[in-house]
Amino acid sequence: MRKRGYHHGNLRQALVDSALKLIEEKGPTGFTLAEAAKRAGVTPAAVYRHFSGREELIIEIAKQGYAIFADLMEYAYTSGNQGALAAFETTGRAYLAFARKYPGHYVAMFESGIPIAADPDLNHLASRAQDVLTNAAVELSKHIPPEKRPPPAMFSAHIWALSHGVVELYTRGGVGSRAPFPPEDLLESAIGIYLRGLGLIEPDS
């Protein structure tokens, strides 16, 4: 009986979807291309029509993940009639929501060890996601006294690091079972402490 892969409607995406499940189960280095092919219902040789190896497959997953991530961040920042502070905090919550809803993409993006510079498209998509947070920081910085105002890129990097730390510790199965508060509450309070330390005055207050 012939493998159905030769008649597959979208073999490339089927391989991505199979690899996503394997990444969630085994991590980015815990599976082989042969396993991804088997999950997709095709021969191992068929994989190489679309990907030169496992790293290229993971890069494709990371690219798709960053595209979703950037869209989610942009929506979180621009939706609704929220002030600069509320919009900024919403982007932080969007980070946690993404990690929960798209764990395979998240791992490929942040835990696979693949450098962003490995692929121009990957670098572009990652920069787009970063730019959303940086733009949010630029707007929020306007309400911070000049003498306490860090560069927006540093400002956004600090919040990205806070978000990433909460995800890794309390959302990705680290010590989350012992977390005293929900991750969203931890992140919101951490951002609040950080912003108060900068002397931020909420424009709506």
Residues 110 and 164 in one domain: yes
Residues 9 and 73 in one domain: no
> Considering its fold, how many domains does the chain have in total?
2
pLDDT in tens, 86-120: 777 788 888 888 988 999 999 999 989 888 888 99
pTM: 0.83
pLDDT in tens, 155-168: 888 888 888 888 88
Residues 27 and 98 in one domain: no
Task: Give helix then strand counts, H and E, for the chain.
Answer: 9, 0
Which structural domain, as residue segments, surrounds residue 22?
A: 1-51
Residues 23 and 115 in one domain: no
Residues 19 and 96 in one domain: no
Residues 19 and 119 in one domain: no
Residue 177: inside a domain, yes or no? yes
CATH of the domain at 10: 1.10.10
- Choose among 120, 98, 93: nearest CA to 110: 98
CATH of the domain at 184: 1.10.357.10
Helix then strand then coil, % of the chain, to nearest 5: 75, 0, 25
pLDDT in tens, 37-64: 999 888 888 888 888 888 999 999 999 9
Q: Which residue has the higher pLDDT, 171 or 137?
A: 137
Distance CA 7, CA 66 (A): 29
Residue 74: inside a domain, yes or no? yes
Residue 73: inside a domain, yes or no? yes
Residues 181 and 104 in one domain: yes
